[in-house]
């Protein structure tokens, strides 16, 4: 970088953040700066969803007026919604981000798919193993993630600096104490840390922050008329040419949207008419089911997330 940044006094043009969101923002910025200063090779996991979008926004804030001092990593399973990939590439260009995309070459060669190999094995190879490969290749000693403690019972137990062994394992029985906002970033070569600036955010906080900060999102979060089938109690979007209806299934068209985004064969949509932020928040505030309800990978059994994390999943 050569030219000096121009600092111009300008208002937000928006009302100031309420104290609750402001406190969450401050905490996240503090964590970003601490990690960036203490570790040699940070990377930020970017999954294109709403949490990642908030995480990215906070990273830009934390290092302003400088650039984000680390690359972003997207683990591409090749089964993401096309709209996600478009959005990712547009954002990377618009914000001038250093974005690395990694797909597990073994999985690609063996043509591992959620339909042919089952969601557990597919997730293991295309997500967990792929992530380990990318982190090892980049020699990253810390990776930021957008996980929140309110998502799931084992996440609720995780530290903000979550220590990982050289083979990326999490040992939930032996976490380091984490007192006040003083973080212990000391590790040996090969060990690493997953850092979670959004730990204390809830789903509603995320949406209210997106609204307050006008953060762009993948349009799939808003209701529109889309084609889908009902399979195993899940609304599966008929996303691309690889989608095949099973015998007896009929492709329907109706207003649906997503509460979380991932791989389309594993991410269930919800019927909804909420086509803008305000409507999404209103709907969320009276929701009677949790966020991860639509995710095939979390439904397998209680404790499945913990198991994956022990194996190196984010």
Partner 1 sequence: MTAPSTPAVSLVNFEDDAPAPHHAGKDSRPLRFITCGSVDDGKSTLIGRLLWDTKAVKEDQAAALSRDSTGKQNDLGLPDFALLLDGLQAEREQGITIDVAYRYFSTDKRAFIVADTPGHVQYTRNMATGASTADLAVLLVDARAGLLEQTRRHATIAALMGIRQFVLAVNKIDLTGYDEPGYHKIARDFRELALTLGVNNVISIPVSALKGENIVLSGKATMPWYEGPTLVEVLERATQRGGQSTGFRLSVQRVSRPGEGFRGYQGTVSGGSIKPGDSVVVLPSGVEANVKQIVTFDLIRNAAVSGDAITLVLDRPVDIARGDMIVALDQRPQTGTAFSARLVALSPDAIEPGKRYWLKAGSRRQRVTVTPTQQLDLQSGKWQPATTLPLNAIGTANLDFDEAAIFDAYETNRQTGAFILIDPDTNNTVAGGMIQGRRKSSDGLAREGAEKVTVTLPAHLLAAFRASDFARDHAGEIRISADEDE
Radius of gyration of the chain (CA): 20
* Rounded CA separation 289/270 (Å): 11
Choices 41-49, 91-99, 127-135, 183-191; region in contact with partner 1 by CB under 8 A: 183-191
The residue among 34 and 76 lying less far from partner 1, judged by its C-beta, is 34
Sign of the dihedral through C-alpha 299, 303, 307, 313:
positive
Site for partner 1 in 13-32 (CB under 8 A): 18-20, 23, 25-26, 29-30
Instruction: Report the residue from 108, 293, 300, 311 that binds partner 1 according to the rule CB under 8 A.
Output: 293
The residue among 76 and 203 lying less far from partner 1, judged by its C-beta, is 203
54 touches partner 1 by CB under 8 A = no
The residue among 5 and 105 lying less far from partner 1, judged by its C-beta, is 5
Choices 46-54, 134-142, 238-246, 284-292; region in contact with partner 1 by CB under 8 A: 284-292
Instruction: Report the residue from 15, 40, 111, 177 that binds partner 1 according to the rule CB under 8 A.
Output: 177
Site for partner 1 in 222-281 (CB under 8 A): 230, 233-235, 259, 268-272
* Rounded CA separation 232/249 (Å): 11
Instruction: Report the residue from 15, 40, 96, 188 that binds partner 1 according to the rule CB under 8 A.
Output: 188
**Among 83, 148, 157, which Cα is nearest to 291's?**
148
Residues 79 and 48 sit within 8 Å (Cβ to Cβ)? no
**Among 103, 29, 33, 28, which Cα is nearest to 70's?**
33
Shortest spacing between CB 247 and partner 1, in angstroms: 21
- Give, in degrees to the nearest 5, the angle at Cα 101 between 196 and 135: 50
């Amino acid at each position: 970088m050569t030219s000096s940044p121009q600092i111009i006094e300008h208002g937000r043009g928006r009302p100031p953040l309420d104290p609750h969101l402001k406190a969450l923002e401050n905490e996240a910025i503090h964590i970003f700066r601490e990690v960036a200063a203490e570790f040699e090779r940070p990377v930020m996991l970017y999954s294109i969803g709403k949490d990642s979008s908030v995480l990215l926004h906070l990273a830009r804030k934390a290092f302003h007026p400088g650039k984000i001092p680390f690359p972003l990593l997207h683990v591409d399973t090749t089964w993401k919604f096309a709209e996600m990939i478009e959005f990712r590439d547009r954002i990377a260009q618009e914000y001038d981000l250093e974005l690395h995309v990694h797909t597990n070459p073994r999985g690609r060669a063996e043509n591992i798919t959620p339909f042919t190999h089952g969601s557990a094995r597919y997730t293991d190879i295309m997500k967990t193993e792929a992530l380990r490969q990318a982190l090892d290749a980049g020699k990253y000693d810390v990776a930021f993630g957008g996980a929140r403690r309110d998502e799931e019972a084992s996440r609720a137990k995780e530290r903000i600096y979550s220590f990982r062994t050289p083979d990326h394992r999490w040992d939930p029985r032996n976490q380091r104490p984490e007192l006040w906002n003083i973080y212990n970033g000391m590790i040996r070569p090969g060990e690493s840390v997953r850092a979670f600036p959004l730990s204390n955010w809830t789903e509603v906080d995320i949406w209210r922050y997106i609204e307050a900060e006008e953060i762009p999102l993948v349009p799939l979060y808003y209701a529109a008329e889309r084609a889908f089938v009902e399979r195993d109690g899940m609304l599966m979007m008929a996303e691309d040419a690889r989608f095949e209806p099973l015998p007896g299934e009929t492709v329907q068209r109706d207003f649906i949207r997503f509460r979380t985004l991932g791989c389309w064969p594993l991410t269930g949509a919800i019927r909804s008419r909420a086509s803008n932020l305000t409507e999404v928040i209103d709907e969320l505030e009276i929701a009677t089911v949790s966020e991860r309800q639509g995710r095939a990978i979390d439904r397998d059994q209680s404790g499945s997330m913990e198991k994956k994390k022990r194996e190196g999943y984010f």
